[in-house]
Chains A and B, each alone.
Chain A
Amino acid sequence: MAVITLSGLTKVYPGGVRALDALDLEIADGEFFALLGPSGCGKTTLLRTVAGLETATAGSVRIGETDVTRLPPGRRDVGMVFQDYALFPHMSVTDNIAYPLRIKKAAKNERHAAAADVAAELGLDGLLARRPSELSGGQQQRVALARAMVARPQVFLLDEPLSNLDARLRLEARTFLKKLQRELGVTTVFVTHDQAEALAMADRIAVMEAGRIRQIGTPAEVFRRPANLFVAAFIGSTPMNLVDARVRGEQVEAAGVLLPLPEEARGLVTDGQAVVYGVRPDYLDYSPSPVDGSFSGRVAVVENLGSSSLVTLDVEGVLIHALVGEGSEPEPDEHGWAVPRAGRALLYSDGDLVNGNDVTVAA
């Protein structure tokens, strides 16, 4: 169990690519932490630098009390699960799980007993004599987890833990991983490009772009109050409506309609200032009859999402998405109104959240 502290961490690849740019981050003891971002944002590099598979160009990595920046991976006391699991194909499940103990020179019966214990914990009993190729994807993942757990490391590092599973198994594994992490209480960092995965599993999320962290927060914070336009656009399974707007006194003019100025932005913006008005489709209430202070337009598309529908309104050429509960879906070409819920609309100026003082943004 340990705190991970990164300070000024920089990684420049020989070709001159700056994968990590003076990154500061502290991951609390026992926390389930997600590194989230589009591909190429440096999240995997960050994980590999913590593991010691990449050497930092500058800055430091501390795990617990120890500065591990210059230590080789084997002496950092971390357990890692690779994206392709990297189970040794020529070894049985037992030998795979026991491998870290073999390196630590544990006696054969001792390490086999330890492997059997961990395997039982993860529901792998009965599979111990098999080869990795004889296991399903979910089982392979649990073997990889068992191998990472067997030496009881201080930190777990998971590289895209769910990406190699099929969709149904993914949900199952998500619940399983979260439960396991809670039970073990070990500081765990995982990398994902899937925002839904990060929101569902993590205690806290760092959203990354181009080697920098754009926002750190709990899933609720990152979802409700994205610190900047990048995070706003990246988080959410239905993307946030982001409309160019202009402040008009106590109101905001967006897509040709006047909307109430969000409470928190009052006094922080000046009349006539150019801003971006953001509101999630989840926080727009659809109404078939006219309402003041709402987007009003023609229903262009209705997409069924199961228990709700995503309605696209054409508001003077700007497309506005709203989520509508089942039973009240409009027909295409009807006229409709979408009312922003109080306290859920956000204003962005120069790409950053207006009154974003309460959100944590690392440089």
Chain B
Amino acid sequence: MSVREVLRRIGLATFVSLVLGFFSLPLLWLAFTPFDSDPRISASLPDFTLHNFQVLMDNPYALASLRNSIILAAGAAALVVTCAALAAYALSRVRIPGRDVLLYVLLLLSSIITGTAAMVPIFLLAFNLNLIDSHLGVILVLTGGLLPAAIFVLKDFTDATPTSYEEAARVFGATPLQTLRHVVVPVIRPGLATVMVWTVAQVWGDFLMPFLLLRDPDKAPASVIMYTFYTEGGQPDLALISTFSLLYSLPVVGMYLFVSRRYGFRFHGGIKR
């Protein structure tokens, strides 16, 4: 092996290690710091303790906020999956002039709805509808923002499903609703699972909308509550933040693992045929 070759390999290994280190350090921090008796901002092997979790349990908002997150995520996921499935099925099976344009425009606008640009109008709208400080308000706004992308992904799934399945059900006497329940939903189930997981992850991580629309800290989800974990001295309370981060991320990771084992992720979306 020439010197050049050796140097090249060393360079490559160093580069890969640096990149890996860059991405794994936060994860190591997340894994170790919650169990460290002296939590700091750097990752180190912990001086093992479970005391930090005690601190978390004593915090009046921490666990309630996780429950709030679950309510928001589950509500939005149920609403998004149901509405997107019905809309995608209709858009895929009924010929409407300009339906592709419609879908693209919706997709474009959806990033505005939940984005910073529409913050003030959304607040005013929610205020006038008496939806401030209500989980329903947040769920509705987030659902509105996520629906276009969900419809787009699900429409690809329904487009890829041959119509003869539905025709077979019709010939044997199934009503449209029976056709949907017995045939269409089971066939596009991987798509529904994909959209559900994606919605939950989006809502779970969303900060802006719940921060804007929920005034009462008892109703705030985890993403907002985490923002309040400071000591009296104004320093970040690392014991709380680290344990809470761990609890906050575990459900999403668990859900990904469960759904991907069960359905295998088949991302059909995105590419237009």
Which A residues have a C-beta under 8 Å from some C-beta of B? 51-53, 72-75, 78-80, 82-84, 86, 88-90, 99-100, 102-104, 147, 151
A193 to B171, CA, bound (A): 23
Question: Taking beta carbons and an 8 Å cutoff, which residues of B are in contact with A?
Answer: 162, 164-165, 167-174, 178, 182-183, 186-187, 189
Assess the A86–B172 pair: CB atoms within 8 A.
no
Hey, which chain A residues are within 8 Å of B165, CB to CB? Answer: 86, 88
Q: How far is the CB of B179 from chain A (nearest CB, A)?
A: 10
Q: Per a CB cutoff under 8 Å, which of A75, A88, A89, A147 touches B173?
A: A75
Task: Decide if A86 touches B162 in the complex (CB within 8 Å).
Answer: yes
Which chain A positions have C-beta within 8 A of B183? Answer: 88
CB pair A52–B173 under 8 Å, yes or no, is no
Would you call the interface of chain B mostly helix, strand, loop, or mixed? helix
Chain B residues within 8 Å of A73, by CB: 167, 170-171, 173
Within the complex, the shortest CB–CB distance from A271 to chain B, in Å, comes to 57
A residues in contact with B186, CB < 8 Å: 88, 90
Q: Which of A72, A79, A88, A147 contacts B170 (CB 8 A)?
A: A72
Closest to A51 in B: B171
Contact call B168/A82, Cβ cutoff below 8 A: yes
Point out the residue from B162, B164, B167, B178 that lies within 8 Å of A103, measured CB to CB.
B178
Please, could you name 28 A-B residue pairs with CB atoms under 8 Å apart, sorted by A? Answer: A51-B171, A53-B170, A53-B171, A72-B170, A73-B167, A73-B171, A74-B170, A74-B172, A74-B173, A74-B174, A75-B173, A80-B171, A82-B168, A83-B164, A84-B162, A86-B164, A86-B168, A88-B183, A89-B187, A90-B186, A90-B187, A99-B172, A99-B182, A102-B182, A103-B169, A103-B172, A103-B173, A147-B172
**Within the assembled complex, what's the spacing in Å between the Cα atoms of A90 and B189?**
10
Give the residues in chain B near A82, CB-CB below 8 Å: 164, 167-168
Residues of B within 8 A of A99 (CB): 169, 172, 182
Cα distance A79–B173 in the bound complex, in angstroms: 10
Q: How far is the CA of A53 from the CA of B189 in the complex (A)?
A: 26
Q: A78 CA to B167 CA in the complex, in Å? A: 13
A84-B162, A86-B164, A89-B187 known; A52 vs B172 contact (CB < 8 Å): no
> Given A82-B164, A84-B164, A74 and B187 touching (CB < 8 A)?
no
CA distance A74 to B172 in the complex (A): 5
Inter-chain CA distance A88–B183, complex, in Å, is: 7
B173 touching A78, Cβ below 8 Å: no
Closest chain A residue to B168, Cβ basis: A86
Which 10 residue pairs spanning A and B have beta carbons closest together? A74-B173, A86-B164, A100-B172, A86-B168, A90-B186, A103-B173, A82-B164, A80-B171, A73-B171, A73-B170
- Decide: B169 and A78 in contact? CB cutoff 8 A: no
For residue B196, give the distance in angstroms from its CB to the closest CB of chain A. 18
